Amino acid sequence: MTTMVSEFSPAEVTATVRSPDGQPSGVIVGLIVVQGGTPLQVDKATAIRMATRQLLWSHVPGDGRQVKVIPVDEDRDGFYDYVRTESDGYYGNNLLALPIWSTSTMCYVSPSSSDYLGQLFGGR
């Protein structure tokens, strides 16, 4: 998966990249975004910059509504720490329900799987 994303064009977030790799309990360290029909992997810093420009959005899993991805300054030090979706009144952060991209196996895994390599997603 390439990393040549335009930081000035809108993109849909379709999956997360976690550390440890592929683990549902892992910290989100990157995103998979679709720009111009191509899935691209972006790191956390790039995702924060794009969210600051209001260029990232995602679908609410299950019903398809669109929600914006926003940057968050958790410790209030003036620097953004991570991205999340705006609360949609049902989920606090829809990114946690998206598939997880495993960089080692190069496939999607279920965010709710206890055997995280057990449930693989097709090419989403």
Q: What pLDDT does residue 116 have?
A: 39
As a residue count, the chain comes to 124
Burial class (CB in 10 A: 0-12, 13-18, 19+), 30: buried
Q: What pLDDT does residue 1 have?
A: 56
Mean pLDDT of the chain: 84
- For residue 87, the 8-state DSSP code is P
pLDDT band at 117 (very low <50, low <70, confident <90, very high): very low
pTM recorded for the entire structure: 0.83
48-102 pLDDT, tens digit per residue, is 999 999 999 998 877 788 999 999 999 999 999 999 998 766 667 889 889 999 9
Separation of alpha carbons 118 and 111, rounded Å: 11
Work out the average pLDDT over 38-57: 95
| Amino acid letter for position 68 | K
Q: What pLDDT does residue 5 have?
A: 82
